[in-house]
Chains A and B, each alone.
Chain A
Amino acid sequence: MLKIENLRAEIDGQEIVKGLDLEVGKGEIHAIMGPNGSGKSTLANVLMGHPRYEVTGGSITFQGEDVLEMEPDERAKLGMFLAFQYPSEVPGVSVANFLRTAVNSVRDEELSPMEMFRLIQDKMKVMQMDPKFAERYLNEGFSGGEKKRNEILQMLMLEPKLAIMDETDSGLDIDALQVVSKGVNELRGPEFSAVIITHYQRILRYIEPDHVHVMLDGRLVTSGGKELALDLEDKGYDWVRQEFGSAAQS
C-alpha cells in the first residue's frame, strides 16, 4: 500500500527526515511515536506533498505509484488523506460547501445534492456534531476539539485508502478523543490503512495499532507491536534516546 524507502527531506536547507523506511500494508494501522522535534510532522507533510518541504532522497510509493512528483490534489485522488494538526481557516467558505467540493473532486462521479446532503448528515451524526456546524465557516473560530472533529469528518466523507493523522489527539479532552477515535474505527477494515502520528500513547487505547514505530532524529529507530507503546509510556522518551540516540546521531 504505502512504501517509504530511505526518505530524506529538508525545510529551509535543514534536513529533518534522514533516511526513513516504512511499509504499511493494506488494512494495517501503524503508530509513529516520538518526542517533539523528531520529524513526525515533517513526515506527515512530506507524505501529502507540502510545497515547503523538499525531498532530497529516497522514494515514496503508494499502491505502486511514485507519488513524489504528484501535487497534493493528485495524491488525494489516489486515496491519501492527511488529518492536519493545525488545519487552516478559510473564511467565508462553509464546512458544507467545502465538503461538497472536496468529495466531488476525489470521486469519479459527482454525488447528487440530495445524496451529498444525506452523507453529510450521516457522518456528522457519527462525529456527534450539531448540524448547524455545517454552515459555519471552515475552521474559523473553531475550538481545538472542533477542528479535530472536523478533520475526521472530512476523512469519513472522503473515505481514503490511507489516512495520515498528524497529532490528531493533541489538545483533546477524553470525550473528544473518544469521538475522534470512533470516527477512525468507523473506517477500519481491510481496505483502510492509517499512520497515526502521536506524542502520547493515549489515543492508542482507543485505536489499536497493528505496529508501533519510534521516531527519533528523522528516522524510525525501533518497531514493535502495540506493547511498545505501553513500554514507551512507562519508560519515557529518555529511554529511547539512551537506547537509540547514538544510533540516530551516527
Chain B
Amino acid sequence: MPEDRTIQELGLDEYKFGFHDPEEYFFKSPRKGIDPEIVAMISKHKKEPEWMLEYRLKALESFLSKPTPRWGGDLSELDFEEIYYYIRPMENQGRSWDDVPDDIKNTFERLGIPQAERESLAGVGAQYESEVVYHSLKEEWEKSGVVFMDMDSGLREHEDLVREHFGTIIPADDNKFSALNSAVWSGGSFVYVPPGVHIDIPLQAYFRINAENMGQFERTLIIADEGSYVHYIEGCTAPTYTTNSLHSAVVELIAKPNARIRYSTIQNWSHNTYNLVTKRAVAYENATVEWVDGNLGSKLTMKYPAVYLMGEGARGEILSVAYAGDGQHQDAGGKVVHAAPNTSSLITSKSISKGTGRSTYRGLLKVHEGAVNSKSRVECDALLLDENARTDTYPYIEIEEKKVNTEHEATVSKVGEDQLFYLMSRGLSEEEAMAMVVNGFIEPIAKELPLEYAIELNRLIQLEMEGSVG
C-alpha cells in the first residue's frame, strides 16, 4: 500500500448530477445582467402587486451600492453581468406530476425523487430554474389549514401574511446577496403551519438549476404558529458547465411561542456553482429552531444559518456538515444570538477536506446583556483526508452578559495511516475504509436526518470521494 498513491487516486471527484436537459423555455430573460428594467420585467411577468415591485427596486439599489464581500471566499470570478436572472421553464405550474413536461419530470426522476419516496412526504415542491414546476400537499394537511406552496403563489393567495413577514427576518439590505435575492427572487416555498398542528412527516422542496449561466434566487418563508411543528427538507443540484452558475437564496423562518421548526438541507451543487445563501430564523418563547445543513458540491459556498433567540426559553440548534473536494471552498458555519433569558443553543459543525479542498468554519455566538442563564455550546470538528487539504476556524464570540454558560471546542483530525491500516486489515478496501471513517465522522449529523436522507447524505459523500470509476 504505497500511501501517497492511494489517497491521490481517490481524488478525482465525480459529480453524478452533472447532466442537463436541452434548454427549451416558456420564457427567458432577454439578456444577461441585471438592471431596473430586468427587475420590473420579472415583477410584471409575475403580475405582482405594486408594493413588491417597489420592494424589488429598492433592493436592487441596495445590491448595486454594496461592494462584493472580500471576507470569506474568493468571489473575484463571479461576474454578475454574465448571469441570466430569470428563466421560466413552463407556462403553468403542475398540480399533478403528469402535468410536468417529460424532460423536466425525467430530470427529477433521475435525481432520485421517485414516486415511492414522495409517498413518505407530507408535501413536495420542485423548482426548475426560476419557477416551481410542481407542487403538492397531502389533503389531510391542507384540511388542517397548512399552507405549502411556492412563494409566488403565496404572494398571490396570502398577500397579507406574506406582506407582514416577508423580509422582516432578513431585510433586503442585510448583505449584498440578500439584496440581490430580494430584487430578483423567484420561486421558493411559502409555508404556514396553524397553531398546534404537528406535521409529522417532512415537507420537501427540490431545487434544480438546468440552464447555463443561470442564477437561481429562490425565496422561502416558513411561519410556524404557536405550538406547531414542521420539518422542511430541501435538496439542490445543477448540471456541470464550464461557466459559473449562481445560487443565492434567502430563507426566513419564524417560530412562534412553543413552535418547532426543523429545516434540513442536502445540497449538492455542481462544482462551478457559487452558493451564497442567507438563512435566518427567529425563535420566540420556548420555541425551537433546528438547522441541519449538508453542504456538498459547489465552487464556493458561503452560508451561515442563524437563529435569533428572541423569547425566554427559546432553543436553537445548528448542525452542519461540509465536504470540500479539489478546488472547492466550503465557508460555512452558524450564528446564534441570545436575546432573552434561559435560552440555549448548540452549534455542531463538521467539515471534511480533500485534495486542494478548503473548509472554513465561521461562526458567531452573541449573548446580549440580560440573556441570563443562557447556555451555548459550539463544537467544530474538521477532518482532513490528505496532506494538502486545508481547514480554518473563525469562531467569533461576543458576550455581554455575565450569567451565562458557554463552551467552545474545536478539533482537527487527519485520517491516519494507522486507522486505514486497521480497517483494511479487516478486509475493507482502501476506499471502503476511507468511507467508513468519513461516515463515522458525520454520524452525529446523519443520525439527525430521517433515515432515507441520512443514507442519501452518506451516499453523496461517498460519490464525491470515489475515483472516476463508473
Question: A residues within 8 Å of B by Cβ?
Answer: 48-52, 71-73, 75-77, 81-82, 84, 87-93, 98, 101-102, 105-106, 137-138, 154, 158
Contact = CB atoms under 8 A, between A and B. Distances in A.
Nearest to A52: B417
Interface of B: 1-3, 416-419, 421-430, 432-433, 436-437, 439-444
Given A51-B1, A101-B432, A84 B422 contact: yes
A106 B429 CA distance: 11
B422 A158 contact: no
Given A51-B1, A76-B426, A88-B418, 8 more contacts: A48-B425, A49-B421, A76-B424, A92-B440, A92-B442, A101-B426, A106-B427, A154-B426
19 contacts: A49-B421, A49-B425, A51-B1, A51-B421, A71-B424, A72-B425, A73-B433, A75-B425, A81-B425, A87-B422, A90-B419, A90-B436, A91-B443, A92-B439, A93-B440, A101-B428, A105-B429, A105-B432, A106-B426
A76 B421 CA distance: 11
A102 B441 contact: no
B418 A72 contact: no
Contacts of A49: 1, 421, 425
B413 to A, nearest CB: 9
B427 A102 contact: yes
B447 to A, nearest CB: 9
A138 B419 CA distance: 11
Contacts of A101: 426, 428, 432, 436
A158 B84 CA distance: 58
A235 to B, nearest CB: 35
Given A72-B1, A72-B421, A90 B428 contact: no
Contact of B444 (A77, A81, A92, A158): A92
A17 to B, nearest CB: 17
A108 to B, nearest CB: 12
B428 A51 contact: no
Nearest to B435: A101
A105 B427 CA distance: 5
A90 B437 contact: yes
Contacts of A73: 424-430, 433
Contacts of A89: 419
Of A81, A84, A91, A137, chain B has the most CB atoms within 10 Å of the CB of A91
Contacts of B3: 51-52
B157 to A, nearest CB: 45
B426 A92 contact: no
Contacts of B2: 51
A91 B440 contact: yes
Nearest to A137: B440
A98 B436 CA distance: 8
Contacts of B432: 101, 105
B426 A90 contact: no
Given A71-B1, A88-B418, A88-B419, A105 B426 contact: yes
A83 to B, nearest CB: 10
Nearest to A93: B440
Nearest to B447: A92
A14 B299 CA distance: 44
A93 to B, nearest CB: 4
B441 A92 contact: yes
Contacts of B444: 92
B429 to A, nearest CB: 5
B423 to A, nearest CB: 7
Contacts of A72: 1, 421, 424-425
Contacts of A106: 426-427
Contacts of B421: 48-51, 72, 88
Contacts of A71: 1, 424, 429-430
A91 B430 contact: no
A82 B425 contact: yes
A138 B3 CA distance: 23
Nearest to B4: A51
A198 to B, nearest CB: 19
A153 to B, nearest CB: 12
Contacts of A154: 426
A102 B426 contact: yes
Contacts of A158: 426-427
B417 A90 contact: no
Given A88-B416, A105-B432, A93 B426 contact: no
Contacts of B433: 73
A150 B439 CA distance: 21
3 pairs of A and B residues whose beta carbons are closest in the complex: A92-B440, A92-B443, A105-B427
A88 B419 CA distance: 5
A81 B437 CA distance: 20
A77 B425 CA distance: 9
B229 to A, nearest CB: 28
